[in-house]
């Protein structure tokens, strides 16, 4: 038997050691064997000091398998095997399983214990050893590694032992009394009497509590719709007429007319032209000179067009004018905008 079976009753000392015994008036030669057996059991207990196996000090404790996740013990151990305390059990097949207590209740003369195991379950037959962990969730000299109410991210699809997924589910205020004591109904009142809600972090990002964001409040949305109308700016104003005057000055360039540019002279053939002879030829009987019925006169020109060059400059002077009116501001109308940052989805779980 293990050290937990040692009795404080003298009459039982003879059957509590693995080998040897301690009896009244026993032979001195048997004391060495009994001492070595005691030391061996103490050494075995110290090597496994992380775990305690309950003992009464007067009677051995037996275990009865009720189901794959439940046992009973014929002693009141609810203070030692309280909810959430870690357990180590060697089942009737010799397999060792680890887990935690999910329910502990005493109904004289037995304590009913229900467990949630990290993996596996209790094999057939009654367990041979049931130990509880040195660290207690409700009363321990060691600080809690993960305080109740702590929220962690995890990549697993099932909540770890001692944790609940942050999915807004309602849980018993009694079964999860430690978590309920910590968070109360901050994240939901459950049914208003016997249950409460854990935080719901599904499709949500956590935000630090502040003066404007109370604990447990929610808000925001992945998609936002901008408001307004996006139109081209337009100007509205009054017409105005510039005032002032324009002055122009310049010169016309001279041009010499060529013969071709002279007008064409065309005399009718029946017109008579009197042409006086030159003085040297005035010796005729006609006196001052003869006249002829016809004469040929050279034509003046062809009447070609000609142009005159002009150069000059102009200046304008007037008064300044300031337009009056208003410009309408643009408005914007758009479609729904997804504001989600690149992400990867994980599970959040809360310690209870």
pTM (predicted TM-score): 0.45
Antiparallel, parallel or unpaired: β 310-318 and 244-252: antiparallel
Domain that holds residue 184: 145-207+344-352
Residues 153 and 173 in one domain: yes
pLDDT tens-digit series, residues 19-76: 777 777 777 777 777 777 778 877 777 777 888 888 776 667 889 999 999 999 999 9
Domain membership flag for residue 240: no
Residues 71 and 129 in one domain: yes
Residues 175 and 196 in one domain: yes
Q: Which residues, other chains included, contact 171 with Cβ-Cβ below 8 Å and sequence gap of 6+?
A: 164, 179, 180, 190, 195, 196, 197, 198, 352
82, 106, 133 - which closes a domain: 133
Domain membership flag for residue 281: no
Determine how many CB atoms are found less than 10 A away from the CB of residue 35: 13
Two tokens, residue 5: 């079976």
Domain membership flag for residue 197: yes
Asked if omega into 115 is within 30° of 0 (cis), the reply is no
What pLDDT tens digit does each residue of the chain (352 aa) get? 566 666 667 666 666 676 777 777 777 777 777 777 778 877 777 777 888 888 776 667 889 999 999 999 999 999 999 988 999 999 999 999 999 999 999 999 999 999 999 999 999 999 999 999 987 766 666 666 788 999 999 999 999 888 999 999 999 999 999 999 999 999 999 999 999 999 999 999 898 999 999 999 998 888 887 776 666 777 777 777 777 777 878 787 777 777 777 777 665 545 545 555 555 555 555 545 454 444 555 556 666 777 777 777 777 777 767 777 777 767 766 677 787 888 899 999 999 9
Residues 181 and 147 sit within 8 Å (Cβ to Cβ):
no
Domain membership flag for residue 81: yes
Domain membership flag for residue 297: no
CATH number assigned to the domain comprising residue 123: 2.40.10
Domain membership flag for residue 54: no
pLDDT tens-digit series, residues 310-352: 777 777 777 767 777 777 767 766 677 787 888 899 999 999 9
Residues 128 and 156 in one domain: no
Task: Report how many domains make up the chain.
Answer: 3
End-to-end CA distance of the chain: 36
Residues 191 and 162 in one domain: yes
């Amino acid at each position: 038997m293990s050290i937990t079976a040692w009795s404080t009753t003298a009459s039982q000392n003879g059957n509590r050691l693995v080998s040897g015994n301690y009896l009244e008036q026993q032979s001195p030669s048997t004391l060495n064997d009994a001492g070595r057996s005691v030391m061996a059991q103490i050494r075995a207990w110290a090597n496994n000091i992380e775990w305690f196996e309950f003992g009464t000090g007067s009677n051995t404790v037996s275990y009865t398998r009720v189901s794959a996740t439940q046992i009973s013990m014929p002693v009141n151990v609810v203070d030692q095997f309280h909810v959430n305390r870690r357990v180590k059990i060697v089942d009737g097949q010799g397999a060792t399983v680890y887990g935690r207590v999910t329910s502990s209740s005493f109904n004289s003369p037995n304590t009913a214990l229900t467990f949630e195991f990290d993996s596996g379950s209790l094999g057939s037959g009654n367990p041979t050893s049931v130990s509880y962990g040195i660290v207690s969730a409700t009363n321990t000299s060691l600080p809690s590694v993960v305080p109740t109410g702590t929220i962690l991210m995890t990549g697993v699809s099932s909540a770890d032992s001692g944790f609940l997924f942050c999915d807004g589910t309602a849980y018993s205020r009694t079964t999860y009394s430690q978590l309920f004591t910590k968070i109360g109904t901050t994240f939901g009142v459950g049914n208003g009497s016997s249950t409460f809600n854990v935080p719901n972090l599904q499709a949500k990002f956590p935000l630090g509590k502040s003066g404007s964001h109370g604990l447990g409040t929610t808000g925001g949305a992945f998609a936002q719709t901008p408001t307004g109308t996006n139109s081209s700016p337009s100007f509205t104003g009054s017409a105005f007429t510039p005032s002032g005057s324009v002055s122009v000055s310049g010169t016309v360039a001279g041009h010499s007319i060529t013969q071709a540019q002279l007008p064409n002279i065309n005399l009718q053939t029946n017109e008579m032209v009197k042409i006086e002879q030159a003085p040297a030829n005035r010796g005729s009987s006609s006196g001052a000179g003869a006249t002829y019925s016809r004469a040929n006169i050279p034509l003046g020109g062809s009447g070609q067009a000609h142009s005159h060059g002009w150069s000059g400059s102009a200046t304008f002077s007037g008064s300044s004018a300031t337009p009056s009116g208003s410009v309408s501001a643009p408005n914007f109308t758009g479609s729904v905008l997804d504001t989600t940052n690149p992400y990867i989805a994980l599970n959040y779980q809360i310690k209870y």
